[in-house]
Structure 1
Amino acid sequence: MKTEKIIGPKEIEEILADQLETGLAEYNRSSSSLFISSLTAGLEIGFSVFLMGIVYTLFHGQMSEAALHIALACSYPIGFLLVVIGRSELFTEHTNLALYPILEKKKSILQLFQLWGTILAGNLLGGFFIGAFLCWIGPAMNIISSEAFVHLADKMLKFDYTVILGSALLAGWLMGLLSWLLSAAKETISRILIVIIITIVIGMGGLHHSIVGSIEIFAGLLLSPEIGWTDYLPVQLLAILGNLIGGTFFVATLKYSHVTRADV
Protein backbone atom coordinates (compact mmCIF):
# COMPACT_ATOMS: atom_id res chain seq x y z
CA MET A 1 0.00 0.00 0.00
CA LYS A 2 1.24 3.47 -0.90
CA THR A 3 1.79 5.85 1.98
CA GLU A 4 1.42 9.56 1.52
CA LYS A 5 4.53 11.60 2.15
CA ILE A 6 3.94 14.15 4.88
CA ILE A 7 5.38 17.48 3.90
CA GLY A 8 6.60 19.45 6.89
CA PRO A 9 7.13 23.18 7.19
CA LYS A 10 10.05 24.71 5.36
CA GLU A 11 13.33 25.10 7.20
CA ILE A 12 14.37 28.69 7.84
CA GLU A 13 17.29 28.31 5.39
CA GLU A 14 14.80 27.29 2.69
CA ILE A 15 12.68 30.35 3.39
CA LEU A 16 15.68 32.65 3.05
CA ALA A 17 16.74 30.92 -0.17
CA ASP A 18 13.22 31.37 -1.55
CA GLN A 19 13.19 35.05 -0.57
CA LEU A 20 16.58 35.56 -2.20
CA GLU A 21 15.48 33.80 -5.40
CA THR A 22 12.28 35.87 -5.55
CA GLY A 23 14.19 39.08 -4.94
CA LEU A 24 16.71 38.30 -7.67
CA ALA A 25 13.91 37.47 -10.12
CA GLU A 26 12.48 40.97 -9.65
CA TYR A 27 15.85 42.57 -10.42
CA ASN A 28 16.04 40.54 -13.62
CA ARG A 29 12.63 41.69 -14.91
CA SER A 30 12.44 44.49 -17.44
CA SER A 31 11.62 47.93 -16.02
CA SER A 32 8.45 48.15 -18.14
CA SER A 33 7.14 44.78 -16.92
CA LEU A 34 7.90 45.69 -13.30
CA PHE A 35 6.24 49.09 -13.64
CA ILE A 36 3.07 47.69 -15.23
CA SER A 37 2.81 45.03 -12.50
CA SER A 38 3.30 47.75 -9.87
CA LEU A 39 0.69 49.97 -11.51
CA THR A 40 -1.71 47.02 -11.44
CA ALA A 41 -1.03 46.51 -7.72
CA GLY A 42 -1.75 50.19 -7.02
CA LEU A 43 -5.08 49.88 -8.81
CA GLU A 44 -6.06 46.57 -7.21
CA ILE A 45 -5.22 47.53 -3.65
CA GLY A 46 -7.71 50.38 -4.00
CA PHE A 47 -10.46 47.80 -3.49
CA SER A 48 -9.57 47.90 0.21
CA VAL A 49 -10.52 51.58 0.23
CA PHE A 50 -13.58 50.79 -1.88
CA LEU A 51 -14.88 48.21 0.59
CA MET A 52 -14.01 50.32 3.64
CA GLY A 53 -15.88 53.24 2.11
CA ILE A 54 -18.97 51.09 1.56
CA VAL A 55 -18.84 49.67 5.10
CA TYR A 56 -18.45 53.14 6.63
CA THR A 57 -21.34 54.52 4.56
CA LEU A 58 -23.64 51.64 5.45
CA PHE A 59 -22.91 51.40 9.16
CA HIS A 60 -21.77 54.82 10.35
CA GLY A 61 -24.31 55.86 12.98
CA GLN A 62 -25.88 52.38 12.94
CA MET A 63 -23.31 50.70 15.23
CA SER A 64 -20.91 51.71 17.95
CA GLU A 65 -17.61 53.36 17.05
CA ALA A 66 -15.72 50.27 18.26
CA ALA A 67 -17.84 47.90 16.15
CA LEU A 68 -17.43 50.11 13.09
CA HIS A 69 -13.66 50.16 13.61
CA ILE A 70 -13.61 46.35 13.65
CA ALA A 71 -15.79 46.19 10.53
CA LEU A 72 -13.44 48.55 8.69
CA ALA A 73 -10.40 46.49 9.77
CA CYS A 74 -12.07 43.32 8.47
CA SER A 75 -12.59 45.08 5.10
CA TYR A 76 -8.92 46.03 4.86
CA PRO A 77 -7.50 42.71 3.50
CA ILE A 78 -9.46 42.53 0.21
CA GLY A 79 -7.06 44.66 -1.83
CA PHE A 80 -4.04 42.82 -0.41
CA LEU A 81 -5.55 39.47 -1.34
CA LEU A 82 -6.03 40.63 -4.93
CA VAL A 83 -2.45 41.91 -5.09
CA VAL A 84 -0.55 39.23 -3.18
CA ILE A 85 -2.35 36.12 -4.43
CA GLY A 86 -2.50 37.64 -7.92
CA ARG A 87 1.28 38.24 -7.81
CA SER A 88 1.30 41.95 -8.61
CA GLU A 89 4.22 43.96 -7.24
CA LEU A 90 3.60 45.85 -4.00
CA PHE A 91 6.24 48.21 -2.59
CA THR A 92 5.86 47.09 1.01
CA GLU A 93 6.49 43.47 0.02
CA HIS A 94 9.74 44.50 -1.62
CA THR A 95 11.23 46.53 1.21
CA ASN A 96 12.73 43.27 2.47
CA LEU A 97 12.69 41.09 -0.67
CA ALA A 98 14.84 43.53 -2.61
CA LEU A 99 17.40 43.75 0.20
CA TYR A 100 18.46 40.09 0.35
CA PRO A 101 20.39 40.25 -2.97
CA ILE A 102 22.19 43.32 -1.58
CA LEU A 103 23.12 41.48 1.62
CA GLU A 104 24.38 38.61 -0.55
CA LYS A 105 26.40 41.13 -2.63
CA LYS A 106 24.66 40.01 -5.80
CA LYS A 107 23.17 43.44 -6.61
CA SER A 108 24.20 47.06 -5.99
CA ILE A 109 22.64 49.81 -3.89
CA LEU A 110 21.91 51.75 -7.09
CA GLN A 111 19.96 48.78 -8.47
CA LEU A 112 18.10 48.55 -5.15
CA PHE A 113 16.90 52.15 -5.34
CA GLN A 114 15.98 51.75 -9.01
CA LEU A 115 13.84 48.71 -8.15
CA TRP A 116 12.19 50.41 -5.19
CA GLY A 117 11.61 53.57 -7.22
CA THR A 118 9.96 51.72 -10.10
CA ILE A 119 7.63 49.74 -7.84
CA LEU A 120 6.75 52.73 -5.65
CA ALA A 121 6.04 54.96 -8.65
CA GLY A 122 3.76 52.36 -10.22
CA ASN A 123 1.92 51.72 -6.93
CA LEU A 124 1.35 55.43 -6.26
CA LEU A 125 0.23 56.20 -9.80
CA GLY A 126 -2.20 53.28 -9.79
CA GLY A 127 -3.43 54.46 -6.40
CA PHE A 128 -4.09 57.97 -7.70
CA PHE A 129 -6.12 56.57 -10.60
CA ILE A 130 -8.27 54.28 -8.46
CA GLY A 131 -8.64 56.93 -5.74
CA ALA A 132 -9.94 59.50 -8.21
CA PHE A 133 -12.26 56.94 -9.81
CA LEU A 134 -13.71 55.88 -6.45
CA CYS A 135 -14.33 59.53 -5.52
CA TRP A 136 -16.54 59.74 -8.61
CA ILE A 137 -18.21 56.33 -8.78
CA GLY A 138 -18.90 55.93 -5.04
CA PRO A 139 -21.05 59.04 -4.59
CA ALA A 140 -22.50 58.71 -8.13
CA MET A 141 -23.87 55.25 -7.31
CA ASN A 142 -24.79 56.33 -3.79
CA ILE A 143 -22.76 53.47 -2.31
CA ILE A 144 -19.97 55.55 -0.73
CA SER A 145 -20.50 58.95 0.82
CA SER A 146 -17.95 61.73 0.51
CA GLU A 147 -17.89 61.71 4.32
CA ALA A 148 -16.53 58.15 4.24
CA PHE A 149 -13.49 59.14 2.18
CA VAL A 150 -12.84 62.18 4.37
CA HIS A 151 -13.09 59.99 7.48
CA LEU A 152 -10.55 57.50 6.09
CA ALA A 153 -8.18 60.36 5.27
CA ASP A 154 -8.58 62.08 8.64
CA LYS A 155 -7.68 58.94 10.57
CA MET A 156 -4.33 58.89 8.74
CA LEU A 157 -3.62 62.60 9.21
CA LYS A 158 -4.57 63.22 12.83
CA PHE A 159 -1.27 62.17 14.44
CA ASP A 160 2.05 63.87 15.14
CA TYR A 161 4.81 63.13 12.65
CA THR A 162 6.79 60.98 15.10
CA VAL A 163 3.70 58.84 15.72
CA ILE A 164 3.13 58.46 11.97
CA LEU A 165 6.72 57.32 11.50
CA GLY A 166 6.39 54.76 14.30
CA SER A 167 3.05 53.57 12.94
CA ALA A 168 4.53 53.17 9.45
CA LEU A 169 7.48 51.27 10.91
CA LEU A 170 5.11 48.73 12.45
CA ALA A 171 3.17 48.43 9.17
CA GLY A 172 6.40 47.88 7.21
CA TRP A 173 7.56 45.32 9.77
CA LEU A 174 4.30 43.39 9.44
CA MET A 175 4.40 43.54 5.63
CA GLY A 176 7.97 42.23 5.67
CA LEU A 177 6.83 39.38 7.90
CA LEU A 178 3.94 38.78 5.50
CA SER A 179 6.41 38.30 2.66
CA TRP A 180 8.55 35.99 4.81
CA LEU A 181 5.57 33.89 5.92
CA LEU A 182 4.29 33.58 2.35
CA SER A 183 7.60 31.96 1.42
CA ALA A 184 7.11 29.51 4.27
CA ALA A 185 3.56 28.59 3.17
CA LYS A 186 2.96 25.98 0.48
CA GLU A 187 -0.79 25.97 -0.11
CA THR A 188 -2.97 28.77 -1.45
CA ILE A 189 -5.35 28.51 1.53
CA SER A 190 -2.45 29.02 3.93
CA ARG A 191 -1.27 32.03 1.95
CA ILE A 192 -4.77 33.55 1.95
CA LEU A 193 -5.04 33.12 5.73
CA ILE A 194 -1.63 34.72 6.25
CA VAL A 195 -2.60 37.74 4.15
CA ILE A 196 -5.91 38.14 5.99
CA ILE A 197 -4.40 37.82 9.48
CA ILE A 198 -1.49 40.22 8.90
CA THR A 199 -3.50 42.89 7.09
CA ILE A 200 -6.36 42.79 9.61
CA VAL A 201 -3.75 43.56 12.27
CA ILE A 202 -2.59 46.55 10.19
CA GLY A 203 -6.19 47.68 9.71
CA MET A 204 -7.12 47.14 13.35
CA GLY A 205 -4.11 49.17 14.46
CA GLY A 206 -4.85 51.93 11.96
CA LEU A 207 -1.21 51.68 10.88
CA HIS A 208 0.22 53.78 8.06
CA HIS A 209 0.67 51.69 4.92
CA SER A 210 2.30 53.86 2.26
CA ILE A 211 0.10 52.65 -0.62
CA VAL A 212 -3.34 52.14 0.95
CA GLY A 213 -2.80 55.25 3.08
CA SER A 214 -1.85 57.23 -0.01
CA ILE A 215 -5.19 56.34 -1.64
CA GLU A 216 -7.11 57.17 1.53
CA ILE A 217 -5.52 60.61 1.94
CA PHE A 218 -5.63 61.39 -1.79
CA ALA A 219 -9.35 60.62 -1.94
CA GLY A 220 -9.93 62.87 1.08
CA LEU A 221 -7.84 65.57 -0.58
CA LEU A 222 -10.07 65.48 -3.67
CA LEU A 223 -13.27 65.78 -1.65
CA SER A 224 -12.40 68.01 1.31
CA PRO A 225 -11.21 71.64 1.09
CA GLU A 226 -9.61 71.14 4.51
CA ILE A 227 -7.12 68.56 3.19
CA GLY A 228 -4.35 69.73 0.88
CA TRP A 229 -1.04 68.60 -0.59
CA THR A 230 0.76 70.06 2.42
CA ASP A 231 -1.13 67.48 4.49
CA TYR A 232 -0.60 64.62 2.05
CA LEU A 233 3.12 64.95 1.27
CA PRO A 234 4.72 64.91 4.76
CA VAL A 235 2.55 61.99 5.89
CA GLN A 236 3.25 60.08 2.69
CA LEU A 237 7.01 60.60 2.96
CA LEU A 238 6.99 59.45 6.58
CA ALA A 239 4.87 56.42 5.69
CA ILE A 240 7.36 55.41 2.97
CA LEU A 241 10.34 55.92 5.30
CA GLY A 242 8.72 54.01 8.17
CA ASN A 243 7.67 51.14 5.89
CA LEU A 244 11.23 50.93 4.58
CA ILE A 245 12.76 50.83 8.06
CA GLY A 246 10.27 48.22 9.24
CA GLY A 247 10.81 45.91 6.26
CA THR A 248 14.55 46.32 5.74
CA PHE A 249 15.83 46.30 9.32
CA PHE A 250 13.29 44.42 11.42
CA VAL A 251 12.73 41.69 8.84
CA ALA A 252 15.39 41.48 6.11
CA THR A 253 18.48 42.39 8.15
CA LEU A 254 17.51 40.55 11.33
CA LYS A 255 16.24 37.42 9.55
CA TYR A 256 19.31 37.31 7.29
CA SER A 257 21.68 37.74 10.23
CA HIS A 258 19.85 35.08 12.21
CA VAL A 259 19.99 32.49 9.42
CA THR A 260 23.56 33.16 8.28
CA ARG A 261 24.93 33.16 11.84
CA ALA A 262 23.18 29.84 12.49
CA ASP A 263 25.33 28.36 9.70
CA VAL A 264 28.59 29.53 11.33
Structure 2
Amino acid sequence: MSDRPALSADAPEHPEPEVEHAFDRLVGEGRERLTRPFLPLLCTGLLGGIDIATGVLAYLVVMAETGDHLLAGLAFSVGFVALLLARSELFTENFLVPVAAVVAREGTVGALLRLWAVTLVANLAGGWVLTWLVVQGLPRLRATAVEAGTTYATIPVGLQSFCLAVVAGVVITLMTRMQHGTDSTGVRIVPAVLFGALLAGGQLFHSVLDSLLVFAAIHAGADVGYGDWLPRLGWSALGNLVGGLVLVTAIRLLRVPHRVAQARAEG
Protein backbone atom coordinates (compact mmCIF):
# COMPACT_ATOMS: atom_id res chain seq x y z
CA MET A 1 0.00 0.00 0.00
CA SER A 2 1.12 3.55 -0.64
CA ASP A 3 2.28 5.66 2.29
CA ARG A 4 0.93 8.78 0.62
CA PRO A 5 -1.86 10.30 2.75
CA ALA A 6 -5.27 10.29 1.15
CA LEU A 7 -6.73 13.61 0.14
CA SER A 8 -9.43 14.85 2.44
CA ALA A 9 -12.92 14.96 1.03
CA ASP A 10 -12.98 18.59 2.11
CA ALA A 11 -9.76 19.46 0.26
CA PRO A 12 -10.23 22.29 -2.24
CA GLU A 13 -10.55 21.24 -5.85
CA HIS A 14 -8.37 24.14 -6.98
CA PRO A 15 -5.50 24.63 -4.48
CA GLU A 16 -4.23 27.98 -5.79
CA PRO A 17 -6.48 30.61 -4.21
CA GLU A 18 -3.86 33.33 -4.64
CA VAL A 19 -3.89 32.73 -8.42
CA GLU A 20 -7.69 32.90 -8.48
CA HIS A 21 -7.61 36.09 -6.41
CA ALA A 22 -5.15 37.62 -8.86
CA PHE A 23 -7.49 36.70 -11.74
CA ASP A 24 -10.43 38.36 -10.01
CA ARG A 25 -8.30 41.46 -9.42
CA LEU A 26 -7.30 41.56 -13.10
CA VAL A 27 -10.91 41.24 -14.28
CA GLY A 28 -12.13 43.95 -11.92
CA GLU A 29 -9.46 46.46 -12.95
CA GLY A 30 -9.80 45.48 -16.60
CA ARG A 31 -13.53 46.22 -16.50
CA GLU A 32 -12.78 49.69 -15.12
CA ARG A 33 -10.24 50.41 -17.86
CA LEU A 34 -12.50 49.24 -20.64
CA THR A 35 -15.44 51.39 -19.51
CA ARG A 36 -13.41 54.55 -18.81
CA PRO A 37 -14.87 57.65 -20.53
CA PHE A 38 -12.88 59.10 -23.41
CA LEU A 39 -11.48 62.21 -21.69
CA PRO A 40 -10.10 60.41 -18.61
CA LEU A 41 -8.74 57.69 -20.90
CA LEU A 42 -7.00 60.29 -23.06
CA CYS A 43 -5.54 62.12 -20.06
CA THR A 44 -4.33 58.90 -18.47
CA GLY A 45 -2.55 58.00 -21.71
CA LEU A 46 -1.00 61.46 -22.07
CA LEU A 47 0.32 61.29 -18.53
CA GLY A 48 1.66 57.80 -19.23
CA GLY A 49 3.68 59.16 -22.15
CA ILE A 50 5.00 62.00 -20.00
CA ASP A 51 5.96 59.56 -17.24
CA ILE A 52 7.89 57.35 -19.67
CA ALA A 53 9.54 60.47 -21.11
CA THR A 54 10.90 61.28 -17.63
CA GLY A 55 12.50 57.84 -17.75
CA VAL A 56 13.95 58.71 -21.17
CA LEU A 57 15.37 61.90 -19.65
CA ALA A 58 17.03 59.89 -16.89
CA TYR A 59 18.33 57.39 -19.45
CA LEU A 60 19.88 60.13 -21.61
CA VAL A 61 21.45 61.94 -18.64
CA VAL A 62 23.12 58.80 -17.30
CA MET A 63 24.10 57.59 -20.77
CA ALA A 64 25.70 60.96 -21.56
CA GLU A 65 27.68 60.87 -18.31
CA THR A 66 28.71 57.21 -18.21
CA GLY A 67 28.20 55.66 -21.65
CA ASP A 68 26.91 52.56 -19.82
CA HIS A 69 23.66 51.04 -21.14
CA LEU A 70 23.02 49.07 -17.95
CA LEU A 71 23.32 52.10 -15.66
CA ALA A 72 21.23 54.16 -18.07
CA GLY A 73 18.63 51.37 -18.12
CA LEU A 74 18.49 51.38 -14.33
CA ALA A 75 17.98 55.15 -14.40
CA PHE A 76 15.17 54.74 -16.94
CA SER A 77 13.17 52.68 -14.44
CA VAL A 78 12.15 55.95 -12.76
CA GLY A 79 9.63 56.20 -15.61
CA PHE A 80 7.97 52.93 -14.61
CA VAL A 81 7.95 53.94 -10.96
CA ALA A 82 6.21 57.17 -12.00
CA LEU A 83 3.67 55.17 -14.01
CA LEU A 84 2.92 53.03 -10.98
CA LEU A 85 2.65 55.75 -8.34
CA ALA A 86 0.84 58.27 -10.55
CA ARG A 87 -1.58 55.57 -11.79
CA SER A 88 -1.11 56.60 -15.39
CA GLU A 89 -1.13 54.07 -18.20
CA LEU A 90 1.17 52.64 -20.85
CA PHE A 91 -0.03 50.96 -24.04
CA THR A 92 1.83 47.72 -23.34
CA GLU A 93 0.45 47.51 -19.79
CA ASN A 94 -2.96 46.92 -21.34
CA PHE A 95 -2.35 43.37 -22.55
CA LEU A 96 -2.99 41.29 -19.43
CA VAL A 97 -5.49 43.33 -17.43
CA PRO A 98 -8.20 44.34 -19.97
CA VAL A 99 -7.77 41.13 -21.96
CA ALA A 100 -8.63 39.16 -18.81
CA ALA A 101 -11.83 41.21 -18.56
CA VAL A 102 -12.72 40.56 -22.20
CA VAL A 103 -12.13 36.82 -21.79
CA ALA A 104 -14.39 36.89 -18.72
CA ARG A 105 -17.05 38.70 -20.77
CA GLU A 106 -16.74 41.83 -18.65
CA GLY A 107 -15.85 43.88 -21.71
CA THR A 108 -15.95 43.78 -25.50
CA VAL A 109 -13.27 43.47 -28.15
CA GLY A 110 -14.35 46.86 -29.50
CA ALA A 111 -13.73 48.46 -26.11
CA LEU A 112 -10.32 46.76 -25.96
CA LEU A 113 -9.31 48.10 -29.37
CA ARG A 114 -10.49 51.58 -28.32
CA LEU A 115 -8.37 51.35 -25.17
CA TRP A 116 -5.29 50.26 -27.10
CA ALA A 117 -5.63 52.89 -29.82
CA VAL A 118 -6.30 55.86 -27.56
CA THR A 119 -3.63 54.88 -25.04
CA LEU A 120 -0.93 54.35 -27.69
CA VAL A 121 -1.64 57.62 -29.50
CA ALA A 122 -1.83 59.53 -26.21
CA ASN A 123 1.40 57.95 -24.92
CA LEU A 124 3.19 59.03 -28.08
CA ALA A 125 1.73 62.54 -28.00
CA GLY A 126 2.65 63.13 -24.35
CA GLY A 127 6.12 61.70 -24.89
CA TRP A 128 6.67 63.79 -28.04
CA VAL A 129 6.03 67.00 -26.11
CA LEU A 130 8.28 66.18 -23.17
CA THR A 131 11.15 64.91 -25.32
CA TRP A 132 10.99 68.20 -27.25
CA LEU A 133 11.24 70.10 -23.98
CA VAL A 134 14.16 67.95 -22.84
CA VAL A 135 16.14 68.44 -26.03
CA GLN A 136 15.50 72.19 -26.07
CA GLY A 137 16.23 72.62 -22.38
CA LEU A 138 19.30 70.36 -22.19
CA PRO A 139 21.25 70.77 -25.44
CA ARG A 140 24.17 68.82 -23.95
CA LEU A 141 22.04 65.69 -24.34
CA ARG A 142 21.50 66.13 -28.08
CA ALA A 143 24.42 64.00 -29.22
CA THR A 144 23.34 61.17 -26.93
CA ALA A 145 19.73 61.51 -28.08
CA VAL A 146 20.80 61.36 -31.73
CA GLU A 147 22.86 58.22 -31.15
CA ALA A 148 20.19 56.41 -29.12
CA GLY A 149 17.27 57.36 -31.32
CA THR A 150 19.05 56.68 -34.61
CA THR A 151 19.76 53.13 -33.45
CA TYR A 152 16.04 52.38 -33.25
CA ALA A 153 15.02 54.46 -36.26
CA THR A 154 17.35 52.44 -38.50
CA ILE A 155 17.08 48.94 -37.03
CA PRO A 156 16.09 46.56 -39.85
CA VAL A 157 12.47 45.44 -39.88
CA GLY A 158 13.14 41.72 -39.71
CA LEU A 159 13.44 38.67 -37.50
CA GLN A 160 15.92 40.10 -35.00
CA SER A 161 13.92 43.27 -34.31
CA PHE A 162 10.69 41.27 -34.11
CA CYS A 163 12.24 38.91 -31.54
CA LEU A 164 13.40 41.89 -29.50
CA ALA A 165 9.85 43.28 -29.63
CA VAL A 166 8.36 39.95 -28.54
CA VAL A 167 10.73 39.79 -25.57
CA ALA A 168 9.84 43.37 -24.67
CA GLY A 169 6.15 42.44 -24.66
CA VAL A 170 6.90 39.49 -22.38
CA VAL A 171 8.92 41.68 -19.99
CA ILE A 172 6.25 44.36 -19.65
CA THR A 173 3.39 41.90 -19.24
CA LEU A 174 5.31 39.91 -16.62
CA MET A 175 5.88 43.17 -14.76
CA THR A 176 2.15 43.87 -14.87
CA ARG A 177 1.34 40.38 -13.60
CA MET A 178 3.79 40.66 -10.70
CA GLN A 179 2.44 44.06 -9.69
CA HIS A 180 -1.12 42.74 -9.62
CA GLY A 181 -0.14 39.88 -7.36
CA THR A 182 0.14 42.14 -4.31
CA ASP A 183 -1.59 45.09 -2.64
CA SER A 184 1.70 46.53 -1.34
CA THR A 185 2.89 49.61 -3.21
CA GLY A 186 6.41 49.04 -1.93
CA VAL A 187 6.49 45.54 -3.36
CA ARG A 188 5.06 46.73 -6.67
CA ILE A 189 7.96 49.16 -7.06
CA VAL A 190 10.45 46.28 -7.15
CA PRO A 191 9.32 44.82 -10.52
CA ALA A 192 8.95 48.37 -11.89
CA VAL A 193 12.65 48.96 -11.22
CA LEU A 194 13.87 45.51 -12.26
CA PHE A 195 11.89 45.18 -15.47
CA GLY A 196 12.35 48.82 -16.42
CA ALA A 197 16.11 48.37 -16.16
CA LEU A 198 15.92 45.14 -18.16
CA LEU A 199 13.83 46.75 -20.91
CA ALA A 200 16.02 49.81 -21.45
CA GLY A 201 19.37 48.39 -20.38
CA GLY A 202 18.87 45.30 -22.54
CA GLN A 203 17.98 47.54 -25.52
CA LEU A 204 14.78 45.64 -26.25
CA PHE A 205 12.36 46.89 -28.92
CA HIS A 206 9.46 48.58 -27.15
CA SER A 207 6.90 50.51 -29.16
CA VAL A 208 6.56 53.51 -26.82
CA LEU A 209 10.01 53.74 -25.22
CA ASP A 210 11.86 53.47 -28.51
CA SER A 211 9.46 55.87 -30.21
CA LEU A 212 10.30 58.49 -27.61
CA LEU A 213 14.02 57.93 -28.17
CA VAL A 214 13.43 58.43 -31.91
CA PHE A 215 11.43 61.60 -31.19
CA ALA A 216 14.29 62.93 -29.07
CA ALA A 217 16.72 62.20 -31.90
CA ILE A 218 14.49 63.98 -34.43
CA HIS A 219 14.15 66.98 -32.12
CA ALA A 220 17.94 67.01 -31.78
CA GLY A 221 18.44 67.18 -35.56
CA ALA A 222 19.27 63.55 -36.36
CA ASP A 223 19.31 62.45 -39.98
CA VAL A 224 16.17 60.34 -39.47
CA GLY A 225 12.52 61.22 -39.80
CA TYR A 226 9.00 60.11 -39.04
CA GLY A 227 8.99 58.04 -42.21
CA ASP A 228 11.78 55.94 -40.69
CA TRP A 229 9.99 55.67 -37.37
CA LEU A 230 6.44 54.76 -38.42
CA PRO A 231 7.03 51.27 -39.89
CA ARG A 232 9.18 50.38 -36.90
CA LEU A 233 6.41 51.50 -34.57
CA GLY A 234 4.02 49.05 -36.27
CA TRP A 235 6.60 46.25 -36.22
CA SER A 236 7.48 46.74 -32.56
CA ALA A 237 3.82 47.06 -31.52
CA LEU A 238 3.03 43.78 -33.30
CA GLY A 239 5.91 42.02 -31.56
CA ASN A 240 4.93 43.49 -28.20
CA LEU A 241 1.38 42.18 -28.71
CA VAL A 242 2.61 38.69 -29.57
CA GLY A 243 4.90 38.56 -26.55
CA GLY A 244 2.38 40.01 -24.12
CA LEU A 245 -0.73 38.20 -25.32
CA VAL A 246 0.54 34.82 -26.50
CA LEU A 247 3.53 34.10 -24.26
CA VAL A 248 2.20 35.58 -21.02
CA THR A 249 -1.51 36.47 -20.95
CA ALA A 250 -2.85 33.31 -22.63
CA ILE A 251 -0.72 31.01 -20.49
CA ARG A 252 -1.65 32.88 -17.29
CA LEU A 253 -5.34 32.52 -18.08
CA LEU A 254 -4.88 28.80 -18.72
CA ARG A 255 -3.82 28.43 -15.10
CA VAL A 256 -7.36 29.19 -13.98
CA PRO A 257 -9.60 27.69 -16.69
CA HIS A 258 -12.37 26.98 -14.17
CA ARG A 259 -12.47 30.64 -13.10
CA VAL A 260 -12.46 31.78 -16.72
CA ALA A 261 -15.36 29.42 -17.49
CA GLN A 262 -17.24 30.53 -14.38
CA ALA A 263 -16.75 34.22 -15.18
CA ARG A 264 -17.89 33.71 -18.77
CA ALA A 265 -21.00 31.85 -17.59
CA GLU A 266 -21.84 34.63 -15.13
CA GLY A 267 -21.15 37.29 -17.77
Q: Which one of the candidate residues 257, 262, 267 is aligned to 1:260?
A: 257
Q: Show CA shifts across 1:53-84 (max 9, x none).
A: 11122234xxxxxxx12211211201111012
Change over 3 Å in CA distance of 1:263–1:159 after alignment to 2: closer
In the alignment, the residues of structure 1 paired with residue 95 and residue 259 of structure 2 have an alpha-carbon distance, to the nearest angstrom, of 23
In the alignment, the residues of structure 2 paired with residue 38 and residue 152 of structure 1 have an alpha-carbon distance, to the nearest angstrom, of 24
Q: Show CA shifts across 1:206-239 (max 9, x none).
A: 0112111111011112223421122111111111
Runs of 4+ in 1 over 4 A off after TM superposition: 261-264
Change over 3 Å in CA distance of 1:230–1:113 after alignment to 2: same
| 1:170-189 aligned within 5 A | 170-189=167-186
Structure 1 unmatched ranges of 5 or more: 1-8, 61-67
State the 1:262 CA deviation.
Answer: 8.4
| 1:89-108 aligned within 5 A | 89-108=89-108
State the 1:17 CA deviation.
Answer: 1.0
Change over 3 Å in CA distance of 1:24–1:147 after alignment to 2: same
Residue 159 of structure 1 corresponds to which residue in structure 2?
Answer: 155
Change over 3 Å in CA distance of 1:43–1:10 after alignment to 2: farther
In the alignment, the residues of structure 1 paired with residue 40 and residue 259 of structure 2 have an alpha-carbon distance, to the nearest angstrom, of 37
Decide whether the 8 Å contact of 2:52 with 2:209 is kept in 1.
yes
Decide whether the 8 Å contact of 1:20 with 1:100 is kept in 2.
yes
Q: Show CA shifts across 1:115-171 (max 9, x none).
A: 1111111111101111111110111xxxx4211101211332353212222111111
Residue 37 of structure 2 corresponds to which residue in structure 1?
Answer: 30
Residue 10 of structure 2 corresponds to which residue in structure 1?
Answer: none
Decide whether the 8 Å contact of 1:10 with 1:184 is kept in 2.
no
Q: Show CA shifts across 1:83-123 (max 9, x none).
A: 12221011111022121122112322211111111111111
Alignment partner of 2:36: what SS? coil
State the 1:10 CA deviation.
Answer: 6.8
Residue 232 of structure 1 corresponds to which residue in structure 2?
Answer: 229
In the alignment, the residues of structure 1 paired with residue 57 and residue 151 of structure 2 have an alpha-carbon distance, to the nearest angstrom, of 16
* Structure of higher CA gyration radius: 2
In the alignment, the residues of structure 2 paired with residue 30 and residue 262 of structure 1 have an alpha-carbon distance, to the nearest angstrom, of 28
| 1:103-182 aligned within 5 A | 103-139=103-139, 144-162=140-158, 163-182=160-179
Change over 3 Å in CA distance of 1:119–1:262 after alignment to 2: closer
Structure 2 unmatched ranges of 5 or more: 1-15, 262-267
Residue 198 of structure 1 corresponds to which residue in structure 2?
Answer: 195
Identity of aligned pairs, percent? 23
Residue 27 of structure 2 corresponds to which residue in structure 1?
Answer: 20
Change over 3 Å in CA distance of 1:10–1:219 after alignment to 2: farther
* AA partner of residue 153 (structure 2): L
* AA partner of residue 23 (structure 2): L
In the alignment, the residues of structure 2 paired with residue 160 and residue 188 of structure 1 have an alpha-carbon distance, to the nearest angstrom, of 39
Change over 3 Å in CA distance of 1:262–1:114 after alignment to 2: closer
Are positions 1:207 and 2:204 aligned together?
Answer: yes
Provide the TM-score with structure 1 as the length reference.
0.87
* AA partner of residue 179 (structure 2): L
Residue 88 of structure 2 corresponds to which residue in structure 1?
Answer: 88
Are positions 1:54 and 2:51 aligned together?
Answer: no
In the alignment, the residues of structure 2 paired with residue 97 and residue 148 of structure 1 have an alpha-carbon distance, to the nearest angstrom, of 35
In the alignment, the residues of structure 1 paired with residue 171 and residue 149 of structure 2 have an alpha-carbon distance, to the nearest angstrom, of 21
Residue 5 of structure 1 corresponds to which residue in structure 2?
Answer: none
Larger displacement relative to structure 2 (10-19 or 123-132) = 10-19
Provide the TM-score with structure 2 as the length reference.
0.86
State the 1:261 CA deviation.
Answer: 5.5
In the alignment, the residues of structure 1 paired with residue 109 and residue 260 of structure 2 have an alpha-carbon distance, to the nearest angstrom, of 26
